């Protein structure tokens, strides 16, 4: 299967996790992403770490997506925010982190913060008070709620990297770190196809997988994602405990078994 061999996540093209977050055991260090000269480390839960600066980056939390769907008549278990925040806290507990960057669409809609439970609000305020915290504005949350703490920015440049919600149009974007597309990749074995969330990079820019409990995904081979990269991009697929590094040529489109 390639670097960091081991079992991939079960094929799931709709949600990231069940209503209760799965514990991720300590695993050997995954192969790094080198983006514009910066050495970044993917965490198996879906966060991107910049150890040299003690930064953790999360994309597309989509807090309160479940309650948004419920208001439209689609009943889902109302625990997605709780699960997402618990998974985020687990990442922070595993690593020495000073600064958290959330790459936009942290809230599923402009009223999502008002639907958070008191316990969830308290958790977010505690996290934003104990870490430097940056909310990047996204298309779902163009005006993240300042009442929860942290700083709000359209984008953030730190050293060789620039953090924004959505990748710029295809072309040079050295150091760009973004989310928005919820990339997933598929590999085919003799028995079945395996699909998992993934990081995507060509060394110039990187797109992160979505971190939210109720977020779906887009095939990394779709032109909307692949079109932002040079032909020889690499994906870092999320396994249960390990990261699996795959070159583009090892991937298959969704719906094709070979």
pLDDT tens-place values along the chain, 258 residues long = 332 223 333 333 334 433 334 444 445 567 999 999 999 999 999 999 999 999 999 999 999 987 776 666 666 677 899 999 999 999 999 999 999 999 999 999 999 999 999 999 999 999 999 999 999 999 999 999 999 999 999 999 999 999 999 999 877 789 999 999 999 999 998 888 999 999 999 999 999 999 999 888 999 999 999 999 987 899 999 998 889 999 999 999 986 543
pLDDT of residue 75: 66
pLDDT at 254: 82
Alpha helices (H) in 176-250, listed in sequence order: 223-226
Please report, for the chain, the start and end positions of each structural domain, with discontinuous segments joined by +: 33-250
What CA dihedral angle connects 224, 228, 229 and 235, to 10 degrees?
Answer: -50
Beta strands in 75-231 (DSSP E): 99-102, 132-136, 151-153, 155-158, 161-164, 176-178, 183-188, 193-201, 205-207, 218-219
Cα separation, 34 vs 177, in Å, equals 11
Instruction: Quote the pLDDT of residue 59.
Output: 98
The CATH class of 33-250 is: alpha beta
pTM score over 0.75? yes
Both structure tokens of 252: 């298959």
């Amino acid at each position: 299967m390639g670097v960091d061999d081991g079992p991939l996540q079960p094929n799931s093209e709709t949600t990231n996790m069940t209503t209760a977050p799965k514990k991720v055991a300590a695993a050997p260090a995954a192969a790094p992403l080198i983006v514009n000269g910066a050495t970044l480390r993917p965490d198996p839960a879906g966060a991107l770490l910049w150890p040299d600066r003690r930064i953790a980056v999360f994309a597309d939390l989509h807090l309160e997506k479940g309650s948004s769907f419920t208001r439209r008549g689609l009943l889902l278990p109302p625990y997605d925010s709780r699960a997402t925040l618990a998974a985020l806290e687990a990442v922070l507990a595993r690593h020495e982190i000073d600064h958290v960057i959330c790459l936009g669409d942290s809230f599923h809609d402009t009223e999502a913060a008002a639907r958070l439970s008191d316990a969830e609000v308290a958790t977010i305020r505690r996290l934003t008070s104990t870490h430097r915290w940056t909310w990047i504005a996204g298309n779902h949350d163009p005006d993240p709620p300042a009442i929860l703490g942290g700083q709000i920015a359209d984008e953030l440049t730190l050293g060789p990297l620039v953090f924004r919600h959505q990748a710029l149009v295809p072309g040079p974007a050295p150091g760009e770190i973004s989310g928005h597309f919820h990339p997933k990749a598929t590999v085919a074995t003799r028995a079945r196809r395996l699909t998992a969330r993934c990081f995507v990079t060509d060394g110039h820019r990187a797109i992160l997988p979505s971190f939210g409990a109720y977020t779906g995904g887009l095939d990394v081979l779709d032109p909307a994602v692949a079109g932002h990269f040079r032909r020889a991009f690499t994906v870092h697929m999320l396994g249960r405990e390990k990261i699996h590094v795959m070159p583009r040529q090892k991937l298959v489109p969704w719906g094709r078994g070979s």
